[in-house]
Amino acid sequence: MKGRAAVFVRYRSGDGAGHVGWAFEYEPRKRIDAGSVENHTGGIHADASHMDFWNELSSDPVACMRKNEYDDVKFVDVDDPDPVRAYQTVRWIEKHAYTAILRNCLDDAYDVLRAYGVADLEPPSHDWFPKNWFAHFRGTQRAVAEFDWNEGQTQESGGNEKLPDPRSLEPQAPDWRNPLRAVFSLFRLELFRDFFRGLVHRRRRRG
């Protein structure tokens, strides 16, 4: 089975840092999930009920992104994706407050895409600006205004596996965000290591 996933970017958001959202195929050509945490207030913290989370299942995620004025998209096709785990991650994100560090739009997109099965993702700490992380994302880039989600796909792509109704899925943290999992400590170590490396680099550049 193959599935498609994508990251969308709005360059002018976040005081120039940019903003990203996700999309992935829950059932190819039938139900595709698109969403993000917009945080329109621009504050460094917002509880879950005020962080402007949105999530929509439809046959055309691009329409949602156009409505929300995203500029560009990068998409990849994924072998053996895990749409159930990705949607459980979306449900988990919905219940957690927004914070500018470690729980922002970039962390959200990273978690959803990694849970889906997108390989070789740079951790969010490699570049704190969402628009720069988007630039490093390995995928085919298009302008959202001109993008067709089914570009390059054949009628045979996808699979016949019966998936549960996404509305019945319970929230579940991905392993790298779950303190009870071994990978959690390794992931946190990588995040903080990159954060402090970035601080040192910026100080040297200023000096």
Model pLDDT for residues 76-97, shown as the tens digit of each residue: 999 999 999 999 999 999 999 9
Task: Say how far apart CA 106 and CA 99 lie, in whole Å.
Answer: 11
Task: Say how far apart CA 171 and CA 205 lie, in whole Å.
Answer: 42
Instruction: Kindly report, residue by residue over 151-184, the tens digit of the pLDDT.
Output: 988 755 555 578 999 989 999 999 999 999 989 8
pLDDT of residue 162: 83
pLDDT bin (cut points 50, 70, 90) of residue 189 is confident
Instruction: Kindly report, residue by residue over 37-71, the tens digit of the pLDDT.
Output: 999 988 999 999 999 999 999 999 999 999 999 99
Residue 30 · residue 146 · CB < 8 Å: no
The pLDDT mean for the chain works out to 89
Exposed, middle or buried, 54 (CB in 10 Å: 0-12/13-18/19+)? middle
Residue 8 · residue 20 · CB < 8 Å: yes
Structural domain spans, the chain: 2-173
Considering only CA atoms, which of 161, 175, 180 is closest in space to residue 88? 175
Q: What is the mean predicted confidence (pLDDT) over 108-132? A: 90
Calculate ∠ Cα 177-111-185, nearest 5°: 25
Tell me the pTM.
0.89
